[in-house]
Amino acid sequence: MSTDFRVRQIRVDEWPALRALRLDMLRDPAADIAYLDTYELAAARPDDFWRDRARSSSEGGPNRQFVAETSEGELAGTVTVLVEEPGTRDFAGAEVACRQAHVVGVYVRPSHRGGAVTRELFRAAVAWGRAVSGVERVRLFVHKDNARAAGFYRKAGFVEVRATGDEREMEYRAAP
């Protein structure tokens, strides 16, 4: 395992690596409480889906996906930031009240957990989310049973602001 890595935005031509990383995410033991997708659905999606996803999450799209890339070229982890507009509905059907950044799709390969990869991915995601014109806040959701993720989010500067069923909404309040 390399300890040297850099965090950067995904590139459009990296859709095969993006697909492979997503499929690994969905094989993770916590996937059923961490993601709104399944391995079976993701694996069945055509290549055009993955190309479009990489395109919309790179420099030219409205959202950003960041990856941690090792010196050997492995994608060690990822996080995505979606910009939500007021008056639209979020993933749970709730009306979005203000322009905000929503952190989703957090994943770090097991061999890279416990070090700086997750922290640096979050620094990039929060910095980008806060820099988007008109964004009033940065938020994320975590399942009530995902204690490992919730603990990290608190260390990264997020605080719980409300509970919605099994999900806890957290908002960024302090620099990590």
Cα 69 off chain centre by: 15
How many residues does the structure list for the chain? 176
Give residue 86's pLDDT. 95
Contact 139, 114 (CB under 8 A): no
Instruction: Give me the pLDDT at residue 112, please.
Output: 93
What does pLDDT average to over the chain?
Answer: 91
Number of domain units in the chain: 1
Taking phi first (over 0 means left), then psi (-120 to 50 degrees means alpha), and beta for anything else, what does residue 174 get?
beta
- CA 119 to CA 106: how far, in whole Å? 11
Over range 105-133, report the average pLDDT: 92
State what percent of residues in the chain have pLDDT above 70: 96
Q: What is the span of the domain harbouring residue 89?
A: 5-172
Whether the per-residue pLDDT at 175 is higher than 80: the answer is no
* CATH number of the structural domain spanning residue 153: 3.40.630.30
CA distance 110 to 31: 13
Per-residue pLDDT band for 44 (boundaries 50, 70, 90) equals very high
Q: What is the mean pLDDT of residues 61-88?
A: 93
What's the average model confidence in pLDDT over 153-173? 94
Q: Residue 170 in 3-state DSSP? A: strand
Q: Check whether 75 has a pLDDT greater than 90.
A: yes
List, for residues 5-39, the tens digit of each pLDDT value.
Answer: 999 999 999 999 999 999 999 999 989 899 989 99
pTM for this predicted structure: 0.91
Query: Which segment of 31-35, 48-52, 59-63 scores lowest on mean pLDDT?
Result: 59-63
Contact 1, 112 (CB under 8 A): yes
Token representation of residue 81: 């930031």
